[in-house]
Amino acid sequence: MRRSQLKKLRVALALFFFTALTLLFLDFTGTVHAYLGWCAKVQLVPAILATQTVIFASIIFLTLLLGRVYCSTICPLGVFQDVVSRLAKKTRFSYNPPRKVWIILRYVLILIFILPLFLGKGGLVNVIDPYSMFGRMVSLILGPVYKYGNNLLAYFAERFDSYAFYSVDIWIKGSAALVLAIVSFVVVVTFALKSGRKYCNRVCPVGAFLGLLSKYSMFKVRIDNEKCKGCGICAKNCKASCIDAVNKRIDYSECVSCFNCIKSCPKGAMRYALHKSPDKLSDEGQTRRNFISKTALLASGFVTCAIANEFDGGLARLEDKKAPQRSKPVVPAGADSWKNFHDRCIGCQLCVTVCSNQVLRTDKTKPHMSFERGYCRPECVQCSGVCPTGAIRSVTRAEKSSIQIGTAIWKSNLCIVNTRSDNCDLCSRKCPTGAISRIPKNADDPNSLKIPMIDPNRCTGCGACEHLCPARPHSAIYVEGVETHRRI
């Protein structure tokens, strides 16, 4: 394959994955997920948490064969850095060898990346994982702009009697997550503008892990010493700043196989070929046998930790509802338990993006359910079909209708039957499972006002009662999550 074709193929694949994943995080209809949802499942961390050993092994094999092509084609955050550099016309960088402190940091990051998965504490992993970072940035920063554009199209389409578009609510689904997304965006863009792929090679734990493997890849970018004139053009165009043009060496732990150097070399001295001898710059004293054993240990660690782990009540001008203080969070049907959800979820925001009922929102990095804006309709299973990590497994509509994700709790001091002495039957009338009935407030007087009685064996925790309750600012009836979901 010719030099220009090699880079064109890499760029085409990178643009495909970048565009597909961006659309996944923007799509609130679930249409794109039906065709491109697999792009999220081939990301490294989701594959680990979903125990997709075939995908995980394929990424490892791909890296050992071709180098860090995952970082330059499949990882959306890596491609985003390339886009920023290109838009800023920052295409020339200087060789920047990693100091000892950066090499130590690389190993520390790998430990920070692995240990939380072993301990079942994925919070830090969610913050620094490149896939979930990209998801937060797109869904929380670009997502509202995308929805504003959609609503504008819906407005004008309606004027021409067309309903090809429909308006959607735009609201902040997690202030802490939004702040984290903005900080991540600023940090990544700053790195990209200043030095291209430095964030990839200095901070990203996935890049650090794959960098260890890529030093021993079979195919590598090679320098032909006879053709090379030491002009340094390859080093200036290297987005990873890993080419030492003076000594004619390449640090393969930081090379992302972007092929910029191959295309830019005027003498044809750069080529992508089978590697036969170890490169001096990449040799850190490890024998190949030690490397294989360490790689196997890391891989088994990843797999092991993955396995271990519309109605307003008839009132005028309603006051906004406030979320209740739940002792146990509510997670979607298919999560099976809070522990399974917490251990596997990386906070990528895909489920939040496709939730058309406005139920899912983000607390710091983990999504949870709340019912101020809607309730979890029995026929909706969108979130279970898009999760790439297995935090929410796929469920059918029939299965979802029989899964209990929480139970309704009645607060007598907030119910308008007690506070206003008004009759109200919204919660019992709107309950889709018939779990709420009404009994006389005064047992001795059958004609007294009636209060709700909840059958916990029939309640699924859908939140219809909490959402439709006319009490303000807190609903008189709310849903508490259950630790382990069960069939009812």
CA 294 to CA 77: how far, in whole Å? 27
Give the CB-side neighbour count of residue 265, counting CA atoms within 13 A.
26
Residue 306 has a pLDDT of: 46
State residue 124's pLDDT score.
Answer: 67
pLDDT in tens, 143-182: 999 999 999 999 999 888 888 888 888 888 878 889 999 9
Count Cβ neighbours within 10 Å for each residue of 438-452 and write b for 16 or more, e otherwise: beeeeeeeeeebbbb
Residues 6+ apart with CB under 8 A from 80: 18, 134, 137, 188, 192
pLDDT digits (tens, 9 = 90+) for 15-25: 999 999 999 99
Kindly give, in sequence order, each residue whose CB lies less than 8 Å from that of residue 477, ignoring residues fewer than 6 positions away: 408, 409, 410, 411, 415, 427, 436, 452, 454, 465, 466, 469
pLDDT of residue 287: 47
For residue 370, the model assigns a pLDDT of: 93
The reported pTM is 0.78
Using CA atoms, how far apart are residues 22 and 18, in angstroms rounded to an integer?
A: 6
Q: What is the pLDDT of residue 136?
A: 92
- DSSP element (H, E) containing 485: strand 477-487
Whole-number mean pLDDT of the chain? 84
Residues 106-132, mean pLDDT to the nearest whole number: 71
Name the more confident of 106 and 117: 106
Domains along the chain?
A: 3-274 (no CATH), 338-487 (3.30.70.20)
The predicted pLDDT at position 296 comes to 55
